[in-house]
Structure 1
């Protein structure tokens, strides 16, 4: 089995991997997303790639500087990082953070088609054979980034429904102020594309990257049902 590190604290991304037979080690990147967004001049989709790359590289730097004990016996490590943004009218809509931000987002997107972009960065680290053979050292072997996009038709909740949704605080912490795997799922009318992209991690995209780097996807499974 090849251990997988998920550079994200997202419960949805972890659940997607777990359901696919992968039990990831969680290492949160602590990247300053707002700083990256403020300096970025590309498209919304490209911004998700830039954010996922920053998260992956931050976690890679931590692993290569001081490998966690859980990875000490590994020969190869796969690092997966992701970031998602909802695009509406050419602008990114991230996590609103609070009730006021959520109301502002839903004022614009209710009843509208939007684009949900998820950027993925997948890296392979291999044990270094240089120097002291007793030390546990890893080096970056390969890194690939890909984006997936799903069109989302947002529903139109009643004012009372929206206030009830806001009261759950769920939309405060998710891109676009909604998620399809929670309370917000009832307020999404249609998806055109991979639903896993909306949840933040497209398994087909990640598998393609892993395969392109010469690894066998089932080797990442921690349990084979």
Structure 2
């Protein structure tokens, strides 16, 4: 097996990996997303998603290489996955709304329309060195993925009920497809996993580019 680190606290991302046979060690990054965006004022929405994914991956890698965090197990190779998702609506980014009021504003504009959901992917390979078994960064690659989401327009009562669940507060674009919000999504163009937060085909391609056999990530002990 190859050890897998998920640089994200997202239950949905962890569930995607688990469903594909991958048990990931979760390390949550601490990144000031607003500061990253401010540092790249001319970045497109898809570029910003990629920049945030890389920032989150690098934050966790720095902790691992500095000894603040450890990757459990005896594997000599590990891959790290980091990602960030942003909805693009009428050409502008829509992140996590955090509040009921912001969620309502997003859905009042988005309902009955189509929007692009961009997910940036950052994948790094780490190898143990011979001296002291410390980890070193061997290589890293990145790739964004985009899916187009077609939504229904919730009735005012349905929107009130959806907001009351608080589910959309901490997800990109106030939108889920694997929860209460799935009933308001009428179609998806592209990999549906991109909307949830990780595109498995993209991850497999990037892992392979790093010289790692994708099935080596599967937890065959399950």
TM-score, with structure 1 as normaliser: 0.95
1:3-22 correspondence to structure 2 within 5 Å: 3-22=3-22
Give CA-to-partner distance per residue, 1:158-204, whole Å, 9 cap, x none. 00000000000001010000100000000111111110000010000
SS of the aligned residue for 1:100 comes to: helix
Aligned to 1:31: 31
Give CA-to-partner distance per residue, 1:68-100, whole Å, 9 cap, x none. 455362211100001000001110000000100
User: What displacement does 1:207 show?
Assistant: 0.3
Contact 2:3 2:73 in 1 (8 A): no
SS of the aligned residue for 1:71 comes to: coil
Aligned length: 221
Q: Report the aligned-residue RMSD.
A: 1.3
Give CA-to-partner distance per residue, 1:7-45, whole Å, 9 cap, x none. 000111000000000000000011111111222221100
SS of the aligned residue for 2:52 comes to: helix
SS of the aligned residue for 1:23 comes to: coil
Alignment of 1:181 onto 2:197 = no
TM-score, with structure 2 as normaliser: 0.96
Alignment of 1:137 onto 2:125 = no
**Consecutive unaligned residues in structure 1, runs of 5 or more:** none
Q: Where do 4+ consecutive residues of structure 1 move more than 2 Å?
A: 67-74
Distance 1:4 1:67 in 2: 17
